[in-house]
Amino acid sequence: MKQSTTRAVAAVVIVGMVASVVLAGLVSFYASPQPDGLEAVAQDQGFADRARDSAATDSALAGYEVSGVSDERLSLGLAGVVGVGVTTLLGFGLFLVLTAGRARTPDPQA
């Protein structure tokens, strides 16, 4: 890969990561508190009261908050940043696994 292409890809990745962290860490606090998705349907259809706690209710990131952090804004922001970080690491790991064979295969056009 050419050096200019590598720099362009790196710039896109860095800008994407910064945008993701800003959105997850700052903008997520302003999301609507109204129920959405399955929770809204459950309320509309009248079966929300039958919901049970999940096995992860006491986990560190339950409820999109970081346990042990009393400031709600900070707790939500940290949970978002941790989520972006974990997703990025998993995606990068998957990328490395899927492209590992290509790195060892010689380029026929070289």
- Cα(74)–Cα(66) distance, integer angstroms: 9
Confidence of residue 20 (pLDDT cuts 50, 70, 90): very high
The CB density around residue 66, as the number of other CB atoms within 10 Å, is 19
Q: What pLDDT digit, counting tens, does each position of 58-72 carry?
A: 888 888 889 899 998
Please spell the DSSP secondary structure of 95-110, one letter per residue: HHHHHHHHHHSPPTT-
Cβ-Cβ contacts under 8 Å for 29 (sequence gap 6 or more): 73, 76, 77
Structure tokens of 98? 């899927």
Q: For the residues 35-42, what does the mean pLDDT come to?
A: 87
Residue 105 scores a pLDDT above 80: no
Torsion 13-19-24-26 (CA) sign: positive
Does the pTM exceed 0.85? no
Residue 89 scores a pLDDT above 90: yes
Q: For the residues 19-45, what does the mean pLDDT come to?
A: 87
